[in-house]
Structure 1
Amino acid sequence: MKTIYAKLLFVFVLIFMIGCLHYQDAITFIKSNYQAQNNQKDYIVKVKTKSKTLEIPLEEYLVGVVAGEMPVSFEEEALKAQVVASRTFVLSRKMNVDNTTNSQVFLTDSQMKKNWGNQYKENKEKVEKAVKETSYEVMTYQGKYISAMFFSSSNGKTVNCEDYFNGEVAYLKSVDSHWDLTIDPGNIRYKTFTKTQLANAFGVKSPNIEVTSHTESGYVKNVTVNGKTYTGREVREKLGLASSCFQIDLTSKGYKFTTKGSGHGVGMSQYGAQAMAKENKSYKEILHHYYQNVEIKRIDS
C-alpha cells in the first residue's frame, strides 16, 4: 500500500512540475510579447519629409531605411549590419531624422513597390528578415549610442573621423577596406571641369589648383586654389565629387578629377560589408571591423 501511495505522490508531483514549466513558458511568452509591443509603442521615429512629419515604429522604419540605403541584392549579413548601423544612428539622433542623405534615406511602402516592381514581395521579405533577426540590436561605446556613420565605398581604407568631420571619435578610425576597389563597379569615377567652370566654383579669374597634402588613408587633406587653402571635403562638396580621394590632371578638355570610392569614407563601407559577407563573415564581425571597440546589445535588455 505504501508503494502505491508513493507512486501516486510521485505522479502528482511530476504533473505539478510539468504544469509549472508550462506556466513559466506561458509567462515568458507573455512577457516577451508585452515587451515587443511596448518597444513598438515606445520607439517611434519622427521622419521629416518635404510636406509633413511621419511617425513610424522603429522596426518598421528600418525596413524603409535599408530599402533606401543599401542594394537589396546584397548578402543577408551585409543587410543585417546595415540594419544595426541604421537603428543605432536613428537612436543617436533621438528618433528625429529626415529622409535625405543628411540623415538616412527612407522609402515608403509605395516607393518600394515602385522601385522593385514584381520583386517587391520577395525583396521586402528579405529586408524584413534582416530587421527581425537583429531585433532591437544597437551599438554602444562607453554606454552611449554611437554615431554609426556609413557610406558606399572607399579608396581601400576608411577615413579617421577627424580627417573629414570636426573632432576625433574613438570608434571611427581608419581601417582596411581593400575589397571596395574590386567589388564596387563604380569605385573609380571621372569628372572634368573647364577652366571657366572651375574659376566660377572658386570665385577666381584664372584657376591654379594643386593638391598639397593627403591624410594617412590617402584622401586629399588640403588643396590650394590661387594661394587659398581648402580642405578635401570642401573641394568635394563644391564640385560634387564622389569622394575626397581624388587626383587632378590638366587635359585639353580642362581639369580632370579622378576619384576613388563614394561617400565621406567614415565608418562602415557598404560595399566592404558586402564583400565581408561574401567571405562568410557575420554581421557582428562586419560591425566590429568598421566600428572600433563597440558593444552590440539589445536596447530592451
Structure 2
Amino acid sequence: MKRYSFSIVLLLFLIFALPVIIISCFKKTPKELKTESQLYVNVYDSKSSQLVEIEFEEYIEGVVAAEMPASFHIEALKAQALAARTYTLLRMVSYGGNGCTKHPGADICTEPAHCQAYRDPKALGKAYKKIHEAVASTKGEVIVYENGLIDAVFHSTSGGITENSEDVWVNKVPYLRSVLSQYEDHSPKLISTKNISIDEFVSGMMSLDNTMKLDKKKLAGQIQIIERSSGGRILKMKVGNRYFKGRDLRDQFALNSSNFTIDVNKNDISFAVVGNGHGIGMSQYGADGMAQHGSTYREIVKHYYTGVEIAPMESFRKDFED
C-alpha cells in the first residue's frame, strides 16, 4: 500500500509540480525577455531628472515628433529620422560611443541645447501615424561617411546657405560643408528683427567684457563687422575697443542666428537676423522645401551631408562587438 501511495505521489509530482519548477527555473525578467533584435537606449529625461530606458526606434519617433513639425512632408520627416537615428547611435555606449557627457550613465539626454529634444510621439494624436510611418519606413538606416557614422547635426533654417563646420565651431568636418538651401521661404524665422534699448545693449556688451570702452553717444561708429562666413554668419566683429564673434552677441541677446546686421537708432539698437540656428548640417525647413519640390529623403540627406551614404545600422554593432 505504501509503495502504491508513493507511486501516485511521484506521478502527481511529475505531472503537476515538475513543469512548474522547470518553468520557474527558466523564467526571465522583462529585461531578459527582450529579443536580440531589440535595442534600447538609456535616456536622461531632463524634465523628470530620471534615467529611463526606451526602445530604440520608439525613441527615434519621440525625437522626430519633438524636433520637426508633423505637418512637414513625409520625405522630410524620413530625413529627420535618419539624422536622429545616426546622431543617437553615434553616442550610444553599446555601439562604442561615449554617451551623454553631461549626464553619466545616459547615452543621450532630452535637452535640445545639449543632445536632442524628445516628446511622447503618441501625444500627437492623429499626427502620430505620420511620424510612425516616417520612422518605420526607414528603420535601421543610418548616415555614414567613409564607413563611419556621421555626427548628423541639424538646425531649423539656414537662411539660404548652410555653414562649413569650421566657420562656426572648431573642426573642419568633410561632410559638414556649406551648401545652398533654396526652399526655406515658408520658415517663420527666415527673417526676424529684435530691438533693444541702447542701455541694454551697452550693459550686455559689458557683461561679455567688462574691460571694454564704449561711448553710448557714439555707438554707430563703434560697431564694425569685420568678417562673415560663406553662409553669412559673423565670424569677427569689433564693438568699442574689443573683438567678438557673432555667436557671442547671438547668445547674449537671444538672437535666432549669428547672421545679422545692426542699426543704431536714436533710442535703441535694431538687429535684422537671417535664419534660425547654427546653420551646420541639415536645414529642417530646407529639407521640407526640397521634399515639397519632389526630393526623396535620400536625396535630402545626401544634399545636406556632403559625400555620405546610407547604410544599415546593424553592421556597426557587429563591428564593435568583434
Give secondary structure in 2 for the equivalent of 1:39: coil
Aligned partner of 1:226 in structure 2 is: 240
Letter paired with 1:244: S
Describe the superposition over 1:79-107 as per-residue Cα deviations: whole angstroms up to 9, x where unpaired: 00000000000111226111121211000
CA distance in 1, matches of 2:42, 2:166: 29
Aligned pairs for 1:12-27 within 5 A: none
Alpha carbons 1:45, 1:57 under 8 Å: kept: no
TM-score, with structure 2 as normaliser: 0.76
In 1, the alpha carbon distance for the partners of 2:167 and 2:285 equals 21
Structure 2 equivalent of residue 186 of structure 1: 189
- 1:211 and 1:224 in contact (8 A); partners too: yes
Matches within 5 A, 1:98-113: 98-101=109-112, 102-108=114-120, 113=123
SS in 2 for 1:296: strand
Residue 198 (str. 1) matches residue 198 (str. 2) = no
Instruction: Name the Cα RMSD after superposition.
Output: 1.7
Match of 2:128 among 124, 131, 143: 124
Q: How do residues 113-262 of structure 1 correspond to structure 2 at under 5 angstroms?
A: 113=123, 116=124, 120=125, 122-180=126-184, 182-203=185-206, 206=215, 208-262=222-276
User: Which whole-Å CA distance do the structure 2 matches of 1:288 and 1:46 have between them?
Assistant: 28
- Contact in 2 for aligned 1:77/1:282 (Cα 8 Å): yes
Check the 8 A contact 2:43/2:110 in 1, yes or no: no
From 47, 55, 71, the counterpart of 2:44: 47
**8 Å CA contact 1:156, 1:178 repeated in 2:** yes
Contact 1:249/1:256 (8 A) holds in 2: yes
Output one character per residue of 1:16-59: Cα deviation in whole Å (capped at 9) or x when no partner.
xxxxxxxxxxxxxxxxxxxx94232x342423424211111110
Deviations 1:173-210 (A, max 9, x none): 00000212x12132100011212111111215545332
CA distance in 1: counterparts of 2:253 and 2:226, whole angstroms: 18
Aligned pair count?
256
CA contact (8 A) 1:45 1:58 kept: no
Q: Where in structure 2 are the equivalents of 1:269-280 lying within 5 Å?
A: 269-280=283-294
CA distance in structure 1 between the aligned counterparts of 2:89 and 2:120, rounded to whole angstroms: 20
Contact 1:192 1:253 in 2 (8 A): no
SS in 1 for 2:302: helix
User: TM-score, normalised to structure 1's length?
Assistant: 0.81
Structure richer in helix, relative to its length: 1
Q: Which blocks of at least 5 consecutive residues in structure 1 are unaligned?
A: 1-35
For 1:237, the aligned partner's letter is D
Q: Which amino acid aligns with 1:90?
A: T
